[in-house]
Structure 1
Amino acid sequence: MLKDFKPVLGILLRFIIIYVVFILAYQFYLNSFQAEGLDPYSRMVADQAAFLQNQFGYVTQLYNDVPNEQVWFYVKEKYVSRMVEGCNAISVIILFMAFVFAFYKGAKTFLFTLAGFVFLYIMNVLRIVGLNIVVRDHPQYSKIGHDYIFPAIIYGSVVVLWLVWIKFFALKK
């Protein structure tokens, strides 16, 4: 009976091991910056979101809150949101990468994860920009935007990438 499920169990085991290794490595990274406020990667995401907002005419400044490990977005003379570690989408990217590596297909696996990482990074920066604009100009939609619409964008992007990986790479003979 288990013999029939061996390939599925193998993929599931690979996924779990890869996911745990990536999460532990990420936690080690976060712990090394704990005393400095927001980690450099999250800060880079915030900086790029602020840059884009400025390009779109939403004058934005960032304010570090080191003790609370966050950065505040000050947009058009109003505090609209704060960037914390969870906003950087790394946990979502780790989930994406663990799934792709569970269906390992040689060098194209690395190329696809790199391309997927870049795509998800861009989508996340755009998600933060969009959320800041909604909160600034339409605060009545901030809760639904933050809790439902904008998470759907990043998770939906991951699902689309997974479907592309399975359909065009992993199951291709």
Structure 2
Amino acid sequence: MSANSADGATVVEVVLVKGGRTKIRYDSALMGDDGTRVTVRAPWAGAGVRDFGFVRFEPGDLFTEHYWRDRWYSVKEVRAADGTLKGWYCDITRPAVLTGTELVVEDLDLDLWRSADGSDVRRLDEDEFAESGLAESDPQAAAAALAALDELEALARGDGFGTLLT
């Protein structure tokens, strides 16, 4: 049984897990599911403003989030409340699992940011990834995560996810 939002879209609860614990969970509107990629849309789910120095996530921001069942990352288009594109925030994750209306994603610490104009592409949290111990506890997952980060960086510096998200 699926819940629907006021506009009739199916509500999917996104559950972000990190280190075996739920980091955050929030409701989103299902925009599409082709069997491989699940796309949802949700307002900024964090508490207040999160200022990274190179971008601010704040109340009113809208995230269109793309998750794959066969890839080790997610790509989130970030727009300000007025619709202005801020850029794309990408999480390196294990492949997403959608069960009913619950989308579970395991965050593997690595992230990538691409600004709207493509002038700023940066790898994030490589120190957290190294400290996580994943390379020792699950070398295959660590290798997949690093390969995913490399793939996303190449896409970000290339067409800016155009071919990936169409």
Taking structure 2 as the reference length, the TM-score comes to 0.27
The structure richer in helix per residue is 1
Higher relative contact order (CA 8 A, sep 6+): 1
The structure richer in strand per residue is 2
Higher-Rg member (1/2): 1
